[in-house]
């Protein structure tokens, strides 16, 4: 257990959201320094950028990737690609600290043996939102997704299997980890517009790492 200096949640708690989905409060806090250092190294090489949707609009979230595969969006659609389209080089390697955290979090939530090959890095600034969507560009839905929240808090929308299902609102804080898979793997979800603020570790933004087995 860790002192909860900046947040209001009970670190170490496991909050079930649905069958196959849970929030692990503060699970990433003990690895905070390693995660932040690795995040800085990755984004120095592959800077977050606002990708185009297939419809030609610019997403409000700033995105980058590390690992063998990276999630991208452009006029041709959504997909995973082994190279960064900005400079046509491979995405930065998945940091060992990301791999280790993801495996431990997945196991804690009932999914042992998780080995992600893709990590999408989402950076939110004040006002940035992510509309309700399903994560369905991965080849195999058997593996769970591990999602790590860093920086400013956000309200996460956790819906059902249909877009119109009324979502739960879950407050996610620095160090919280959401794991979802199994019967929840294709639930709709999103993030409400980020409220302005300053976080001691990351300043005026929220960063979310979503680790997946994509290929
Ligand atoms: C975010 N997360 O929290 C966006 N997707 O910034 C996601 O889109 C997400 O947190 C699948 C599983 C967990 C997630
Ligand atoms: Fe998602």
* Tens-digit pLDDT profile for residues 73-127: 999 999 999 999 999 999 999 999 999 999 999 999 999 999 999 999 999 999 9
* CB-ligand 1 contact for 22 (6 Å cutoff): no
Q: Bridge-partner residues for 74, per DSSP?
A: 77
In the three-class reduction of DSSP (H, G, I as helix; E, B as strand; rest coil), residue 56 is classed as coil
**What number does the ligand 1 atom closest to the CA of 61 have?**
6
Please tell me the distance from the alpha carbon of residue 178 to that of residue 167, in angstroms, as a whole number. Answer: 16
What is the enclosing helix (H) or strand (E) of 40? helix 32-45
Torsion sign, CA atoms 69, 206, 58, 141: positive
Looking at residue 6, its pLDDT comes to 57
pLDDT value of residue 1: 45
Residues of the chain falling short of pLDDT 50: 1-3
Cα(131) to ligand 2 centroid in Å equals 9
Identify the residue whose C-alpha is closest to ligand 1 atom 8. 190
What distance in angstroms lies between residue 111's CA and the mean position of ligand 2's atoms? 18
């Amino acid at each position: 257990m860790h002192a909860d200096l900046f947040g209001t949640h009970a670190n170490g708690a496991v909050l079930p959201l649905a069958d196959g989905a849970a929030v692990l409060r503060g699970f990433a806090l003990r690895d905070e320094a390693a995660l932040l250092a690795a995040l800085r190294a990755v984004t120095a090489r592959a800077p977050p950028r606002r990708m185009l949707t297939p419809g030609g609009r610019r997403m409000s979230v700033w995105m980058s990737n590390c690992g063998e595969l990276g999630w991208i969006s452009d006029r041709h659609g959504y997909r995973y690609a082994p190279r960064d389209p900005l400079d046509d080089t491979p995405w930065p390697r998945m940091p060992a600290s990301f791999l280790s955290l993801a495996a431990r979090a997945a196991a804690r939530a009932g999914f042992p043996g998780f080995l992600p090959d893709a990590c999408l890095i989402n950076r939110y600034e004040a006002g940035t939102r992510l509309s309700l969507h399903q994560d369905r560009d991965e080849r195999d839905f058997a593996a769970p997704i591990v999602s790590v929240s860093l920086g400013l808090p956000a309200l996460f929308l956790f819906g059902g299997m249909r877009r119109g299902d009324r979502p739960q609102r879950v407050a996610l804080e620095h160090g919280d980890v959401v794991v979802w898979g199994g019967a929840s793997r294709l639930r709709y979800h999103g993030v409400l517009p980020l409220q302005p603020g300053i976080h001691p570790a990351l300043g005026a933004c929220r960063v979310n790492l979503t680790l997946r087995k994509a290929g």
